[in-house]
Structure 1
Amino acid sequence: MSWILLTLAGIFEIGWAVGLKYTEGFTRPLPTALTAFSMLISVVLLGLAVKSLPMGTAYAVWTGIGTVGTVILSIFLFAEPATALRLGCIALIVTGIVGLKFVG
């Protein structure tokens, strides 16, 4: 169950990271509220997950999910470059997340 909570926390982290772009410097009320809500849910779920997962592992996986998801969505939503080197780096992060899941 903790891994599910952690995965959901990572998904909400993606939501708030991408949401920051839509807030336009926190000048748009609805995107700002949704981004703040995503931040809150993400941290609460992370806090619940670390009750039974090692903190270092949980934090690394949480940020890894957020990083990979944000980069992938940014490629599609904001036309950021999808170079081979960039995709290779994403693959390294995913490998690290999977590795931590199996040793944590």
Structure 2
Amino acid sequence: MNANWIKVFTGAFFEVFWVIGLKHANGFWTWTGTVISIMVSFYLIIIAGRNLPVGTVYAVFVGLGTAGTVVSEIIFFGEPFQIKKMMLILLLLVGVLGLKLLTKDDSEEGVGS
């Protein structure tokens, strides 16, 4: 896996924080963390999108962010666990993984990083 895909996965990781922050932030520091997470996540996908197909980058970013947010809500915020929901998240992740595996990276390692 090259550096561009690591940026996409890291951006998706930060997406989980800002999506949760939009719902649960209630003070200066939580809103500051939410805004920083937004800036980091979008910066990373913009940089990765320079060397990877933008449609695939966005699909992977949103798919992983959605899955991470749903799982985080269940683990940390008491959302009820539903097997149907988990099966759909699994289907989403299979689609995201398929997109990633089918996408050729035409950039050379280290160029533009």
Normalized against structure 2, the TM-score is what?
A: 0.86
1:36 pairs with 2:35? yes
Which residue of structure 2 aligns with residue 48 of structure 1? Answer: 47
Aligned to 1:12, which of 6, 11, 14? Answer: 14
SS of the aligned residue for 1:80 comes to coil
Which structure is larger by alpha-carbon Rg, 1 or 2? 2
Q: Could you list the runs of 5+ residues in structure 1 that have no partner in the other structure?
A: none
Which residue of structure 1 aligns with residue 84 of structure 2? Answer: 85
SS of the aligned residue for 1:53 comes to coil
1:10-58 deviations in whole A, cap 9, x for unaligned?
Answer: 001011111223213xxx1100000000000000000010011101000
1:56-93 deviations in whole A, cap 9, x for unaligned?
Answer: 00000000111000000000111112111000011011
Alpha-carbon distance in structure 2 between the residues aligned to 1:14 and 1:65: 9
Amino acid at match of 1:3: W
Q: Which has the higher helix share?
A: 1
Q: Could you list the runs of 5+ residues in structure 2 that have no partner in the other structure?
A: 104-113
Which residue of structure 2 aligns with residue 76 of structure 1? Answer: 75
Normalized against structure 1, the TM-score is what?
A: 0.93
